[in-house]
Amino acid sequence: MDQLKPKLLITGANGFLGQKLVEKIVPTDQYIVYATSNRDNRNHLKEGYIYISSNFEQPDSLKQLLEEVKPDFIIHTAAISSVEACENNPAACKKINIDSVLELGEYCKKYDKYLLFLSTDFVFDGENGPYTESDRTKSLNAYGSTKIAAEETLKKTNCRASILRTILVYGVNGDRERSNLVLWAKKQLEIGTTIRVVQDQWRMPTFVDDLVKACQTALEKEAEGIYHISGSEMMSILEIAQGVASFWNLDTSLITPISAAEINQATNRPRKTGFILDKAAHELGYRPTSFLDSLQEIDKQLKFYKR
């Protein structure tokens, strides 16, 4: 029976989103799931799928992986997402963030397969947020620039694909080493550490469980085009940290507001992004979880993972 199921390849499977995709998709038993990343498998879920270590910086590694797996569907989350890492190592950033997308797109075009590609709000400069899918892109940093280039590269392959842009993903998975803004703020405040948090940048943070659902829906519908996937609430980074403190009854006096300029992030990160979610709502049935409700769900999941 397994041979009748389509093969799904998830790249970046050790990443925060990648691990959550494995965790949520494998139990549905809809696909023969293959997961890949460039190190040993870090997902707490070890069974029900095939893990293959593959470093996309190495010549022919992705080509060999595609020849071995022959996937019908691909969710491509693998990326160098650090702004500073992309600036410091542009060759590796191009290889991972752009060249791999070209190779996957060409594979999907050649064999009529489907690709879901993850992108970012950093394709925008933050001057006119929140943004629609058709708004003009312009990035302030190397990371965002590679994502713009990857999006354009993918379009030119003319394969069947969707591009899901997202913003400041947060939540929890089974990997204790994987953190994000919400878990970081919670942990630091719990141990009584003063944290410095930017007060003059605004985002619509995305609950990882919502993003996974959007990926699953896009995959099932084989949706094509760009979709904006995020939370619906515009919040400053400071407000996010304060919300975390309030929910878990932690000391808000430990939170020190700072400006983006104080940590050299005023010019290389957008001031205000955010997405208009109408297209995703209409075509994918996307309904984001409220920030408060997501914290309640995270609290339950933390108990499940026994952090």
What pLDDT, on the 0 to 100 scale, is given for residue 305? 87
Residue of 126, 18, 31, 129 lying closest to 75 (CA atoms): 18
What pLDDT, on the 0 to 100 scale, is given for residue 223? 98
Prediction pTM value: 0.97
Residue position matching structure tokens 């797996």: 69
Q: What per-residue string of b and e applies to 20-35 under the rule 16 or more CB within 10 Å gives b?
A: bbbbbbbeeeebbbbb
Q: What share of the chain has pLDDT > 90, as a percent?
A: 95
Structural domains in the chain, CATH included, are: 2-171+206-232+273-289 (3.40.50.720)
What pLDDT, on the 0 to 100 scale, is given for residue 2? 63
Q: Give Cα separations from 48 to 21, 26, 39, 103 (angstroms).
A: 13, 6, 19, 27
What pLDDT, on the 0 to 100 scale, is given for residue 307? 54
Average pLDDT for 153-168: 98
pLDDT at 1 over 70: no
What pLDDT, on the 0 to 100 scale, is given for residue 3? 66
pLDDT at 187 over 60: yes
In the 3-class helix/strand/coil scheme, how is the chain assigned residue by residue? CHHHCCEEEEECCCCHHHHHHHHHHHHHCCCEEEEEECCCCCCCCCCCCEEEECCCCCCCHHHHHHHHHCCCEEEECCCCCCHHHHHHCHHHHHHHHHHHHHHHHHHHHHHCCEEEEEEEHHHCCCCCCCECCCCCCCCCCHHHHHHHHHHHHHHHHCCEEEEEEECCEECCCCCCCCCCHHHHHHHHHHCCCCEEEECCCEECCEEHHHHHHHHHHHHHHCCCEEEEECCCCCEEHHHHHHHHHHHCCCCHHHEEEECHHHHCCCCCCCCECCECCHHHHHHHCCCCCCHHHHHHHHHHHHHHHCC
What pLDDT, on the 0 to 100 scale, is given for residue 177? 84
pLDDT digit string, tens, across residues 208-239: 999 999 999 999 999 999 999 999 999 999 99
What pLDDT, on the 0 to 100 scale, is given for residue 306? 77
Q: Where on the phi/psi map is residue 164: left (φ > 0), alpha (ψ -120 to 50), or beta?
A: beta
Average pLDDT for 138-166: 98
pLDDT digit string, tens, across residues 85-116: 999 999 999 999 999 999 999 999 999 999 99
Average pLDDT for 125-149: 98
